[in-house]
Structure 1
Amino acid sequence: MRKRILLAFLGASAAVAASAQGQGLAGINEATSLMTSYFDPATKLCYAIGAVLGLVGGIKTYSKFSSGDPDTSKTAASWFFACIFLIVAATILRSFFL
């Protein structure tokens, strides 16, 4: 009698555990699909921010060059590498998570 009760309890426990794992897996898959749907707009946003920063940096560098500032090359390099970093960071994050 005890063995039957124990076997019934273990069977019910296994069924509940299997059901809970299936629901958890569905939740994880749904969260993954939601996160991957945000990567395309986020990547395009990073590219747009990089383009705007590039234009602002170009204007700033041109104004320094026109005024005869000696550190024009430093300003140009910092803005150039900031834009490159934004583009590369967006591309690398996309390749890691998709």
Structure 2
Amino acid sequence: MKNVRGSYSRFYRRARKVALLCLLLAIEVAVYAQDGNAGINEANQKVRSYFASGTNLMYAVGALLGLIGAVKVYQKWNSGDHDTGKVAAAWFGSCVFLVVVATVIRSFFGV
């Protein structure tokens, strides 16, 4: 019987320690989460500040893809390939997609 009591008391001591640690963790989280709205607003402002740069980057990537696509289509056209129209449509479509996405992001988020 003595061993059973000893194991129960060890279990309860450990359970109390775990409960105390959980309580301290909950208190710490509550302390850090006091001003959640200010943190969310700050994150919102930081993310919105990158939209202008991001859309400009998308315009630049679209222009670069347009130049690369024009060279690829020109090479296919000069070599006499029959699928030049398909390649031109694919490259032109990707450039238009990037420009449209950048424009939608800019207008949707009011940047």
- For the criterion TM > 0.5, the same-fold answer is yes
The 5-angstrom pairing of residues 48-59 of structure 1 reads 48-59=60-71
Within the alignment, does 1:46 sit opposite 2:51 as a pair? Answer: no
Output the TM-score relative to the length of structure 2: 0.65
- Matching residue of 2:44: 32
CA distance in 1, matches of 2:48, 2:34: 21
Matched AA of 1:88: V
Within the alignment, does 1:76 sit opposite 2:88 as a pair? Answer: yes
The alpha-carbon deviation at position 90 of structure 1 amounts to: 1.4
- Matching residue of 1:61: 73
- Matching residue of 1:16: none
Percent of aligned pairs with the same amino acid: 54
CA distance in 1, matches of 2:55, 2:91: 20
CA deviation digits over 1:42-94, x for unaligned, max 9?
11111111000000000000011011111111110000010000111111123
The alpha-carbon deviation at position 21 of structure 1 amounts to: 8.6
Moved over 6 A (4+): none
Question: What secondary structure is seen at the aligned counterpart in 2 of 1:70?
Answer: coil
| Runs of 5+ consecutive residues of structure 2 not aligned to the other structure | 1-31
CA distance in 2, matches of 1:31, 1:96: 18
Question: What secondary structure is seen at the aligned counterpart in 2 of 1:69?
Answer: coil
CA distance in 2, matches of 1:72, 1:97: 38
| Runs of 5+ consecutive residues of structure 1 not aligned to the other structure | 1-19
Aligned residues: 79
